[in-house]
Structure 1
Amino acid sequence: MGEFKVDKFNIEDFFSGDLDIFNYSSGMPSILPDTVPCHPENLEINRYAVVVTYVLVTLLSLVGNSLVMLVILYNRSTCSVTDVYLLNLAIADLFFALTLPVWAASKVNGWTFGSTLCKIFSYVKEVTFYSSVLLLACISMDRYLAIVHATSTLIQKRHLVKFVCIAMWLLSVILALPILILRSAVKANLPTLVCYEDVGNNTSHLRVVLRILPQTFGFLVPLLIMLFCYGFTLRTLFKAHMGQKHRAMRVIFAVVLVFLLCWLPYNLVLFTDTLMRTKLIKETCERRYDIDKALNATEILGFLHSCLNPIIYAFIGQKFRHGLLKIMATYGLVSKEFLAKEGRPSFVSSSSANTSTTL
């Protein structure tokens, strides 16, 4: 563990509602200089309930994403381009969730792990956050090219899609560098330490940049790509009356929809908070408290996302269910008669045999 780096930290920053190890927020003062300071309120949801939630999410993510990785790797000889993307998505979600127990512990006792581990855990969380979103955007582009243009492009070839995934991981590593550089264990005017960006005094503009970066490249740009690609993909499928392909696309659409439902509320609240902090929206104590409460609540919804994709595969993905039952039958956990009763799924390809989307 590294040594604690204890710097002076404005008490107003601590009560801004943004001094939270999960936020991509600015930590700018929550009060206006020409007004009476807002008295801090207890804005947190019961922290022990939050700890239990994070632990449950970690366990579900660990089991679910491990099973997804197992099924894909066990059937790697027949896995599709989309399966390669989903394998990397499962890895990202798994490592993201594995950081949650550390953050949960810090909710109760403050940050007690030192500056070095603060940087490491923050960086892992940030890299996996970016990579999962960028991989979802890549899946949407792959489906768009395969179905709308019916073309076999480089990213649709299974032996080359690995390089696309590597590129997304490298991009995530680069985008997360500010967190690695600036995160540190800092001490507010309170006994506990926090894992937070240490950018010194009078750095409000830099903190805004640190907030806008993940909102732009970790949400807005990938979301626009997904909406564009899936909009045209759906139109093509309906115009061609390709019913079986509609069913094959259900898993991918569900994954994107869940991502949207989990992260859109948090990003909308965060964007509103940014507008208020840049004084484009008038800041009041009541508005500050409301936004801080909303950030705490929507943040939990966002972290829940890391364990939901395997649940989607289990309930919607015919290929995933069959693959899992096949493994279980191999080791005698289910009977071969039960496996036969479930039936083998029909694998539907788009423009090539390597673009099945029925995970």
Structure 2
Amino acid sequence: MEYLNASNSSLFARTSVDELVSSTVLGLCCALGVPGNIAVLVMLTQHLKEDSFTPKLMLSLAISDLLSLIFLPVWIYALLNGWVFGQGLCKLFSYVVYWSLYSSVFSVTLLSVQRYLQVLYPQQWAKLGRKGQKGLIFGIWTSSGALASYALYYRNVKKKKEDGFLRCYQDYKNKQEQIVVLFIETLVLYVVPLFSMLYFYYRLHQRINQSASFRSPRLTKLAVRIVVVFFVFGTPCMINNLVLMAMPWESNTSNNVTGALFFINCCVNPFLYAFSARALQSKRKQHSDQPQQNETQSAVKHF
């Protein structure tokens, strides 16, 4: 018992507040996000044979979020006790997490593009067909895999001077390499997706409001929630990236906390999309009973 108490005291003495906060946030994300995304996968498998592209894209989103969340127990343990899993698993796990994060963000962005095209250009979207839809999803995963490949090169296991733990982290040779990687992350994972969602959902909102026969407050609320959640939990991480690019030093505290916040997106996504889809389906059924439907209604029904 004395050894256990001493060991525990040593652990808490070497564990900072930000590491405890970050590990708690990651633990909650894992506890809520994993079963949530599994529930989404089960629910969506019943709709894969439908012509609508939305269930397939939501399935891609759920898989990518699940992949990023199931490895969180490993990162939580490493955050509190150091990395003990070797160099190879450091690179592999990091690559899978980055791959899933890129594909998750791309899936969310493509959902906004899809909804925009279905309402404003339904005939052009219909020409895409099933092969085109499969090509888009394939493109999401292949491009995400390519963009995440830098993790295989830069991720290394080294002992940190601050706490004496072995850490699996981005090991850049110089400041220029760090700036390039962080700039690409900020641009691809945040700036382009955020402004794309803002534009496409705003144009979608305009078109729906112009139709006197079809107004969907649920759709408007869902779009607003999507953008707000992405902005709230993505902004701290990207601000941290900008600070790291500008400053000659970096803070483990900011890296840990902002990185943990970014994972909340993967936890919240299933509740935003799949569970909100039930409300949208009831709205679709109401409009299917009307004798006259215009082209905009027909497109929005596919949500």
- Compute the TM-score of the two structures, normalised by the length of structure 2: 0.81
Aligned match of 2:266: 306
Aligned match of 1:173: 145
Does the alignment pair 1:68 with 2:40? yes
Alignment partners' CA distance in 2, 1:191 and 1:276: 24
Alignment partners' CA distance in 2, 1:77 and 1:178: 36
Is the CA contact 2:118–2:300 (under 8 Å) kept in the aligned structure 1? no
Q: Residue 256 of structure 1: CA displacement?
A: 3.3
Instruction: Select 1:188's aligned residue among 160, 184, 190.
Output: 160
Does the alignment pair 1:153 with 2:125? yes
Q: Residue 142 of structure 1: CA displacement?
A: 1.1
Deviation string 1:108-163 (CA, Å, 9 cap, x unpaired) is 11111000000011001101111111111211111121112333326853453121
Instruction: Select 1:274's aligned residue among 214, 236, 245.
Output: 245
Q: Which segment drifts farther, 293-302 or 186-195?
A: 293-302
Alignment partners' CA distance in 1, 2:91 and 2:50: 39
The DSSP-based 3-state class of the residue aligned with 1:194 is strand
Does the alignment pair 1:356 with 2:302? yes
Q: Residue 232 of structure 1: CA displacement?
A: 1.4
Alignment partners' CA distance in 2, 1:146 and 1:59: 35
Alignment partners' CA distance in 2, 1:131 and 1:214: 13
Aligned match of 1:96: 68
- 1:94-133 mapped onto 2 (5 Å cutoff): 94-133=66-105
Is the CA contact 1:55–1:101 (under 8 Å) kept in the aligned structure 2? yes
Aligned match of 2:28: 56
Question: What do you get for the CA RMSD once the two structures are aligned?
Answer: 3.1
The DSSP-based 3-state class of the residue aligned with 1:133 is helix
Aligned match of 1:211: 182
Q: Aligned letter for 2:48?
A: R
Q: Residue 177 of structure 1: CA displacement?
A: 0.9
Q: Indicate the structure with greater helix content.
A: 2
The DSSP-based 3-state class of the residue aligned with 2:88 is helix
Does the alignment pair 1:265 with 2:236? yes
Alignment partners' CA distance in 2, 1:166 and 1:242: 37
In structure 2, the gaps of 5 or more residues are 1-13, 289-294
Is the CA contact 1:81–1:157 (under 8 Å) kept in the aligned structure 2? no
Aligned match of 1:241: 212
Distance verdict in 2 for CA 1:49–1:296, change over 3 Å: closer
The DSSP-based 3-state class of the residue aligned with 2:184 is helix
The DSSP-based 3-state class of the residue aligned with 1:78 is coil
Distance verdict in 2 for CA 1:319–1:76, change over 3 Å: farther
| Aligned-residue identity in percent | 27
Alignment partners' CA distance in 1, 2:63 and 2:165: 33
Q: Residue 308 of structure 1: CA displacement?
A: 0.7
Distance verdict in 2 for CA 1:269–1:188, change over 3 Å: closer
Deviation string 1:213-248 (CA, Å, 9 cap, x unpaired) is 111111111222222212211111112235444434
Alignment partners' CA distance in 1, 2:277 and 2:159: 48
Alignment partners' CA distance in 1, 2:203 and 2:284: 30
Q: Aligned letter for 1:198?
A: D
Instruction: Select 1:197's aligned residue among 170, 176, 197.
Output: 170
Is the CA contact 1:140–1:226 (under 8 Å) kept in the aligned structure 2? yes
Alignment partners' CA distance in 1, 2:134 and 2:167: 38
Q: Aligned letter for 2:170?
A: E
- Compute the TM-score of the two structures, normalised by the length of structure 1: 0.69
